[in-house]
Amino acid sequence: MILHTLAILDAMNYREYGIVTVLINADEEISSPGSRNLISKLGAEHDSIFSLESSRAESDKLSLATSGITSVTLTVQGRASRSGQAP
């Protein structure tokens, strides 16, 4: 979606913006521990931010903000097994 949007802007010769920065975040599903500092730095340097993270599946509404970030560590003790071979 991001690359197609940039290609469309280019094809339209649309230049009514300053700098466009694209950040693809590979660790988003685990609260961005490796990229959080970069996200914060880049966010502070830009006038507006557009995230392509989807809204809730049951909603057709646009999300204008996120509620926050948290992290949880779960320690599990036991014996490793594979359910199909040794349940």
* pLDDT confidence tier of residue 10, bands split at 50, 70 and 90: very high
pLDDT at 87: 62
* pLDDT confidence tier of residue 64, bands split at 50, 70 and 90: low
Is the separation of the CB atoms in 5 and 19 below 8 Å?
Answer: no
- How far apart are alpha carbons 23 and 59 in whole angstroms? 26
Q: How much is the average pLDDT of 23-42?
A: 80
- Rounded to 10 degrees, the C-alpha dihedral 41/70/72/40 comes to 0
Using alpha carbons, select from 13, 12, 32, 14 the residue that is nearest to residue 24: 32
Give the 3-state secondary structure percentages of the chain, helix then strand then coil, rounded to 5. 25, 0, 75
Q: How much is the average pLDDT of 21-40?
A: 80
Q: What is the pTM of this model?
A: 0.52
